[in-house]
Amino acid sequence: MGEIVQKLQRLFKHGTGRTMLAAICAHSVSISIGMCQGYSAILLPQLARDFQITSEESSWIASLGAVTNPIGSILSGLLAEYLGHKPSILLSSLPSVIGWICIATATNINLMYAGRLVTGIAAGMSVASYTYVAEISAPSDRGLFQSLGPICASFGILITYVLGAYVRWNVVALVSVAFSIFTVIGMQLVPESPDYLLKKGKKDKAAKSLLWFRRSNTEVVRFNSDSEKATRKLYLTSTVMKPFFILVTLFLLQALSGIYTILYYAVNFFEEANLNIDEHMSSIIVGLIRFTMSVAAAFLINRFGRRTLCIVSSGGMTVTMLAAGGYFKYYEVFIDEEKRFRALPLVGVLCNVFFSMIGMLPIPWILAGELFPLRVSSIMGGVVICLAQTFTFVCVKIYYDMIALLHFSGTLMLFCFVSLLALLFCTFVLPETKDKSLDDIETIFKKKTEINPEVYTVTLT
């Protein structure tokens, strides 16, 4: 025990432990986000038993948790730009607490709708945490610390699935409030990003912040002295537009591959599959796999890189969804034939979740905090996440329509096809950012004709 304490003391002495603490506090907001994403999976079956809600009402309850995500992401980008990343993360807890209290005390469907809308705003405000952690982390640690976001989200989903199997939906909502309060307390312990403080010309505060994170004499050359007019022009350069289109495409493929559809409708998904197994237990297994693999991915990402893991992830998703979709299609054609190997589609779906957590689910979020230049990262990160969450809302909302139009097997085969497209995109388009500083990443997208502006140099003594 004493040896562990000594190791922790060394971590904090050299700054890595402090950066990890700040990353945990910032990404703790993702626990509530994960609970928001997984909540409909346990809420809808309970409401169906208690209130006899229609499929249309079910789709709205599920999708309303995502429809206001874009509002939250844009709001978060603006708050981070003008107030700072730390205040933006703190303020995200306010709609989270209000929304979960509305859900916990709901006595009719309209109050439930309102709660889902407000918690959706809080979920959309997570973009500030990714930008904050990207700026405070050293290049060698950034992948690990950014992976704490998906880990916290997966933890929130797992808690929701487990609680949903044993307690009522309003109790689960009250538990979510506690995690929002934890974020508020945690963020009081850490300073603002030194990069943001430099951006606002607060060099003394930036030096103090960097000393808190690094605990050693360090020279930083991170933020340039662009004029406001030059910064506006930056939005239309290749340095911004290339990562913008890469991220938007990656998030679109992520949403259409079925990752979030399975998440939002986990219990219903396994009921639809008609596998004669406990749907809640299947959902808990899904949550456990997501959480376990999100932890594993945190270590894999620094070893193998973002692009490699996305290729493996999308390839595995293609194969596993092909197996599950092919199984259901066979028995839709030969409807009178007795089903054999009933565990096969369950294994296929669980393996799909396994592969999605290696790369296609967490890495686009990590890249959203890495690819844009510091001068525009808050705004552009908010815009990209806004679009990503719009894609998620549409895909979640049309789930029942897809089932009606394509049947269950056709829906799975569509997920398979999109996963194949993601494999091709990651292989031929997606850049690698492993071990690169934010300045080095900016250089990847910069044209040779673009001039490097003057930079601030801050030396800590």
pLDDT score, position 320: 92
Residue with tokens 């003057």: 454
Q: What is the mean pLDDT of residues 228-238?
A: 70
pLDDT for residue 460 is more than 60: no
Q: Which residue spans of the chain are classified as CATH 1.20.1250.20? A: 7-215, 233-446
User: Is a pLDDT exceeding 80 seen at residue 196?
Assistant: yes
Mean pLDDT, rounded, for 156-163 = 87
- Superfamily of segment(s) 7-215: MFS general substrate transporter like domains (1.20.1250.20)
- Strand, helix or coil for residue 459: strand
Q: What is the CATH number of domain 233-446?
A: 1.20.1250.20
Cα angle 112, 353, 74 (rounded to 5 degrees) comes to 50
- pLDDT for residue 461: 47
Helix (H, G, I), strand (E, B) or coil at 107: coil
d(CA 461, CA 404): 66
Choice between 31 and 228, residue whose per-residue pLDDT is larger: 31
Quick: pLDDT tens for 170-195. 888 888 888 888 988 999 989 998 88
Task: Enter the tokens of residue 419.
Answer: 């996963």
